[in-house]
Amino acid sequence: MNKKMKRNLIIAAAALTVVVALILVIIFVPFGGGNKPADIDRGTEMILSVNDDGLHTATVKTNAKGEIENNSYGNLINYAPAQIEKIEMSTGEGNYTFLLTTPVNADGTTEATIYTLEGFEDYDLATTNPALLAGVVCNVDFTMVADLTGENAAEYGFDKVRAEAKVHYNDGTYSVLRLGDDAPGGESCYIQFGDSQTVYIADLTEVEPLLLSITDLFSTAIGGDAHNASDDSFDKITLGGSHLPEEVVIISNNQGALGCYYLMESHKNAPVNITEGSLITGSVRSLTAKEVVCVNPDAQNLKDYGLSTPFATVKTTYTYTSTEYDDAGNQTLNEVTKVPVSLLASDVDSEGDVYLMEEGGKLIYKIAASSVPWATTSMEKLASEYVLSPIYDALESVVLKADGKIYTFRLSTEQVPTTGEDGSNTYTSEYKVTLDAKNIDSDQFYILYQDLTLMQYGGADTTTEAGDKLLTVTYNYLSGRESDTVHFCKTDTQKVIPVVNGDQFGYVYSADVSAIISNIAALASGKEISPVIG
């Protein structure tokens, strides 16, 4: 190795030694900043204990001068919601008590905590707010001490606390947390803990659930167990309230005589408008409100929310069956449950909402009027869009009275044989219509039938006085329904008022009625007729 190469190696080794030394210095020697142990903020020193009464207390450590060495953050209590048995809340709106139950499995694992509001055991609670409240009161942090002695507690709002939580734990201890005013800036607030007058500052977002109104704690779902039933599993639906001239009772159309889904039992089984009937029957059970606005309403509350004399009411009973089976497919449960529902509603407000409550209930809800069509319905809306629409196959006869004459059309079917190439007979049903024992062309009669049964109201009208009868139609059925009678009565205008079994819902046009009367006479004399109703 020559001298020049040896010299270069010595220089390189020296340089490497310097680099390594620098790295070691950087790693192991502190250079100011926040890495010195003395510079790490370990929070305010606290003494946490439980007094003889079982109350959790917190004391701030001070030096010989009575000063806080490090006025910083800290923790006042650290439990889990699963360790809470009861929360007693006191707010400006009143007092309420939460009961908490956390089921424990055989293997020691826990299930989700169950929250119950005392006195409201039959009401479902909101899914998140109770849990938020429990999480706040059992684990309380502060960001600094505002007033060690609390001699001026009133300046922080503790002469009239906004909220106080007394929390009972499953180890027999309890804690007390009080909430005062907001601190300057609006992002923090003042709190007190235990029996101490010391005032702490806490992040407002951390303790905000203490300010929850009792109305925020309830689920907005209305109907209870009725959600297990189906919309059509009711016996009957009774509508009432000041918006209707009389109660209306709706039942399902099980008679098979009229072309509709529902009937007004209270009005001689008149058909219900298909659209309105479906809206009403689908808006009684399993409702969702916008919010709960009042808890335990008194007489004045009911008046203020328009429920002392309800604008609308609805009553019904739903039935559903619960079944269970074992692994072998054997039925182990077949339980029939009846769920009564009775709701009251106010008139619609300027925002398109109504106030609603269960009859005898403890909560008043705010809900969109569009969600409860039964609260805004009317006799005009309930009336079928058609004057009356019997099913053709359900008719035994149709009796018509017009121009002083009576026409009785009798309907029947007969089996007409057809002989095949192999000599066997097949039978088809054919309609037969007779008038005074004389056969009438069934296709021609069907034109008249459609004109009568597809006649739609021109509009609602329950007040125009019905005059003399222009046409009377009586439908007699094969079974399942009493006869229906419709009187088409003239007025002083071009309107004709159909009176259906004594009830008046709307009007039709005199030109249509006159054309139908002409067709009746023409059909009776054996002439061909053309449809009146397009």
Q: Are 404 and 292 in contact (CB under 8 A)?
A: no
The greatest distance separating any two alpha carbons of the chain, rounded to the nearest whole angstrom, comes to 145
C-alpha separations of 195 from 150, 178, 226, 246, 308 in Å: 11, 10, 47, 62, 45
Which pLDDT belongs to residue 429? 81
Helix (H, G, I), strand (E, B) or coil at 526: coil
Indicate the pairing of strand 331-345 with strand 312-325.
antiparallel
Q: Tell me the C-alpha distance between 354 and 368, whole Å.
A: 6
* pLDDT, tens digit, 9 for 90 and up, residues 472-510: 999 999 987 999 999 999 999 999 999 999 999 999 999
What distance in Å separates the CA atoms of residue 247 and residue 314, rounded to the nearest whole number?
Answer: 10
Helix (H) or strand (E) holding 449: helix 442-453
376 vs 283: CA distance, rounded Å:
12
Separation CA 81–CA 60 (nearest Å): 25
Domain boundaries, the chain: 46-217, 221-382, 392-524
Return the structure tokens found at 241: 């309230």
Q: Amino acid identity of 1?
A: M
pLDDT on residue 425: 77
Is residue 372 within 8 A of residue 288, CB to CB? The reply is: no
Architecture of domain 392-524: 2-Layer Sandwich (3.30)
Distance CA 362, CA 228 (A): 22
Query: In 491-512, which positions are buried (b, 16+ CB within 10 angstroms) versus exposed (e)?
Result: beeebbbbbbeeebbbbbebeb
Residue 506 CA to residue 500 CA, distance in Å, equals 10
User: Who contacts 106 (Cβ-Cβ below 8 Å, separation ≥6)?
Assistant: none
Closest CA to 219 of 132, 303, 123: 123
| Rg value, the chain, Cα | 40
| H helical segments located in 282-408 | 299-304, 379-382
Q: Is the dihedral of CA 302, 307, 308, 314 positive or negative?
A: negative
Q: Is 410 left (phi over 0), alpha (psi -120 to 50) or beta?
A: beta
- 3-state DSSP assignment of residue 377: coil
State pTM to two decimals. Answer: 0.80
Q: Which amino acid is at 275?
A: T
- Region of 39 (left: φ > 0; alpha: ψ -120 to 50; beta: rest) is alpha
Q: Which tokens sit at 500?
A: 């259906």
| Cα distances (angstroms) measured from residue 356 to each of 126, 242, 284, 345 | 18, 15, 12, 4
CB atoms within 10 A of CB 134: 24
Q: What is the 3-state secondary structure (H, E, C) of 383-431?
A: ECCECCCECHHHEEEEEEEECCEEEEEEEEEEEEEEECCCCCEEEEEEE
Please give the single-letter amino acid code of residue 355.
Y
Q: How far apart are CA 533 and CA 347, in angstroms?
A: 39
Residue 113: DSSP 8-state: P
**What single-letter DSSP state applies at residue 162?**
S
Query: What is the mean pLDDT, run by run of 10 residues, along the chain of 534 residues?
Result: 43 47 48 56 94 97 93 96 95 90 89 93 91 95 96 94 97 98 95 97 95 92 80 92 97 92 94 96 93 96 97 94 85 86 97 97 97 96 95 97 97 82 79 94 97 95 93 94 96 96 94 98 96 89
The answer to whether the beta carbons of residues 365 and 356 sit under 8 Å apart is: yes
Pairwise CA distance, residues 515 & 510, whole Å = 9
Q: What is the pLDDT of residue 6?
A: 41
CATH class given for the domain over 221-382: mainly beta
Helices (H) and strands (E) in the chain, counts: 8, 33
Sequence letter at residue 242? S
User: What is the strand order of the sheet 262-264 is part of?
Assistant: 270-271, 262-264, 248-252, 237-240, 312-325, 331-345, 353-358, 363-368, 291-295
Residue 171 makes CB contacts below 8 A (sequence gap 6+) with 83
User: Where would I find the H helices in 66-217?
Assistant: 129-137, 204-207
Residues β-bridged to residue 322:
335
